[in-house]
Amino acid sequence: MVSRVLDFGAEGAIAPMINSPADARAFVAAAKFPPLGERSWGPQRAMTFAGIADAKAYLRTANDLTVILAMIETRAALEHLEAILATPGLDGVFVGPFDLSITLAGGKAIDPESKDVDTALARIVKAAADANKLAGVYCHTSKRARALAKRGFRFIAAGSDTGFLRAGVASVLEDLNS
């Protein structure tokens, strides 16, 4: 699916449940062209979106133009964090703090701002910086997004499409009911 999404014109991909260096290598293999990966050729639509008509020119630049992030959301991923980040062709990591909180709590709680999650986030952002890779994170509020940006995260998803839609509908309904 990764190569298909990229062939359709996506400029990157974020893969969930990357728990080991082998998972990271398989992800890169699907997302990057040789010599970094094994992605098959079929990017006609992606070339159009990139404004590159020459196939040879696209091949020379595609690996640099495609951002590949491995999600860090389990204890196993944390155990292998540095090795995952050392994977050639992987551009960085992206944290799913809700999933991470569930796994760190042994499935007993969901708290993306817990002390355990914050400790893991500090380790992740440092390891990414040490590896000269991108550190990304999902944030459920703009306040959390600002706080994690100050801590060094460089790619932040501040909310979700359904959350924005839900808030917009709630605002309209509140206005209608007042």
3-state secondary structure of 95: strand
Domain carrying residue 139: 2-177
- Predicted pLDDT at 172: 86
pLDDT tens, the chain, 178 aa long: 898 999 999 899 999 999 999 999 999 999 999 999 999 999 888 989 889 999 999 999 999 989 999 999 999 999 999 999 999 999 999 999 999 999 999 999 999 999 999 999 999 999 999 999 999 999 998 999 999 999 999 999 987 778 778 878 888 888 889 8
Domains identified in the chain, total number: 1
Amino acid letter at 8?
F
- Predicted pLDDT at 98: 95
3-state secondary structure of 111: coil
- Predicted pLDDT at 146: 95
Rounded Cα distance between 36 and 59, Å, is: 12
Rounded Cα distance between 102 and 117, Å, is: 10
- Predicted pLDDT at 168: 83
Rounded Cα distance between 175 and 61, Å, is: 50
Domain CATH number, residue 125: 3.20.20.60
Per DSSP, 20 falls in state: S
